[in-house]
Amino acid sequence: MPLVTPFRTSFGTETSRDILLVRAIVASGSPDADGWGECVALAQPTYSAEYVDGAQHVLEHHLVGRLVDDPERDGGFDAARVAGRLAPVHGHPMAKAALEMAVLDAQLRAAGRSFAAHIGVDVDHGPVRIPSGVSVGIHDSVDDLLRTVSGYLEDGYVRIKLKIEPGADVDHVAAVRAMIGPDTPLQVDANTAYRRTDGSHLARLDEYDLLLVEQPLPEEDIVGHARLAEEVVTPICLDESLVSAATTQDAIELGACEIANIKPGRVGGYLEAVRIHDLCRARGIPVWCGGMIETGIGRGANASLAALPGFELPGDISASNRFYARDVVVDPITLDGGHVTVPTTPGMGFGVDPGAMDDVTTASTTLPTTP
């Protein structure tokens, strides 16, 4: 799917999105269930080790069969059992998350229940709205960056996140802060572009009253982030490093994670994401929902997750039209007064548009769901 504008980060430029979807068709249940999951892996292994063709391979050859062979499976599939069945396979959280999401979507649709209600969001007393932030790619020119940011503020986004890298950081932040004034929430995301020795450079960002600096150091460098947290006043937020509830807990205990970006794909699924929310909340660590340039499938689910009370900061849950001219769902996320509305339809929070889906489908593979 083409992006409406190229999206540049410290790890590369995305101009289109090659998206892997998992559809779970459970025909033996009562009623029959049908669900979709979106795999957030990018085309190249540059954000994390996963990439979309690898995710497809591991799903086809190592993951789906483990659900089909579950001896305790009683005709249908139970989303609560998926992560445990897949646990013997190391890594591949994004592939696993897509599979669990499809099963959970099918199960919730069959039960006539929304994901938001399922995780305890009060959707019975009128629409729930959550604040919407936007992630802004690296721009070659500061003037262009200011034009882009102005446009998003006109759209109503309540929080700006700037992608940064060495050479496009302090000056860009200073110019944006000067333009937007002191009251608009601003944060930055380095996607691992700095090193431990960059502490004093990153401390120059402290002047600009940022909500947080996201993932300055490499994924593995938890101790480095803990040291940086001593050196820099701006709170350190982890993204790439947080691959599970256990790693999140350790990072918090080490002082490396003052704020957590929760991405369901990165942690192996929405159920693990809820566990991370719960543990952060118990420890007083604010969380927010990250994005992976999702279609309306992942975006609707993210909007539901982000309605949990620990999501104290606006997420990267922008309107569908921030990235796509045409979405694959009938109910794309839209912006209304800087907020998005939490979906309450049965399932993970979207309805697939079959025509739009057909138009962008390049290939599909059917795997048996009986051993």
* Contact residues for Mg ion, defined by CB under 5 A: 189, 214, 239
CB of 163 to Mg ion, least distance (A): 8
- Shorter beta-carbon distance to Mg ion: residue 105 or 258: 258
Buried b (16+ CB within 10 A) or exposed e, 309-338: ebbebbbbbbbbebbbeebbbebbbebeeb
Which position's Cβ is nearest ligand OSB?
A: 291
What would you report as the CA-atom Rg of the chain, rounded to the nearest whole angstrom? 20
Query: Which entry of ligand OSB, Mg ion, none binds 291, CB below 5 to 8 A by partner kind?
Result: ligand OSB
Which position's Cβ is nearest Mg ion?
A: 239
Query: Which entry of ligand OSB, Mg ion, none binds 245, CB below 5 to 8 A by partner kind?
Result: none
Q: How many residues in the chain? A: 371
Annotated active-site residue 96? The verdict is no
Catalytic hit among 163, 177, 322, 339: 163
CB of 157 to ligand OSB, least distance (A): 11
CB of 29 to ligand OSB, least distance (A): 33
CB of 215 to Mg ion, least distance (A): 5
Q: What is the number of alpha carbons within 13 Å of residue 118 lying toward its C-beta?
A: 26
Between strands 133-136 and 213-214, the pairing is unpaired
- Shorter beta-carbon distance to Mg ion: residue 34 or 189: 189
Integer Cα distance of 347 and 102 in angstroms: 9
Integer Cα distance of 104 and 98 in angstroms: 10
Contact 235, 225 (CB under 8 A): no
Classify 303 as helix, strand or coil: helix
- Shorter beta-carbon distance to ligand OSB: residue 114 or 241: 241
Query: Which entry of ligand OSB, Mg ion, none binds 343, CB below 5 to 8 A by partner kind?
Result: none
Annotated active-site residue 163? The verdict is yes
Integer Cα distance of 201 and 357 in angstroms: 46
Integer Cα distance of 220 and 105 in angstroms: 32
CB of 293 to ligand OSB, least distance (A): 4
For the CA atoms of 240, 245, 247, 251, the dihedral, rounded to the nearest 10 degrees, stands at 90
| Interacting residue ranges for ligand OSB, rule: CB under 6 A | 47, 135, 189, 191, 239, 290-293, 316, 318
- Shorter beta-carbon distance to ligand OSB: residue 38 or 189: 189
Catalytic hit among 85, 263, 266, 277: 263
Integer Cα distance of 32 and 368 in angstroms: 16
- Shorter beta-carbon distance to Mg ion: residue 109 or 266: 266
CB of 306 to Mg ion, least distance (A): 15
- Shorter beta-carbon distance to ligand OSB: residue 114 or 318: 318
Query: Which entry of ligand OSB, Mg ion, none binds 318, CB below 5 to 8 A by partner kind?
Result: ligand OSB
Query: Which entry of Mg ion, ligand OSB, none binds 187, CB below 5 to 8 A by partner kind?
Result: none
Query: Which entry of Mg ion, ligand OSB, none binds 302, CB below 5 to 8 A by partner kind?
Result: none
Q: What is the number of alpha carbons within 13 Å of residue 33 lying toward its C-beta?
A: 27
CA separation (Å) from 333 to 284, 298, 321?
29, 10, 8
DSSP state of 245: H
> Which residues are part of the catalytic machinery?
163, 263
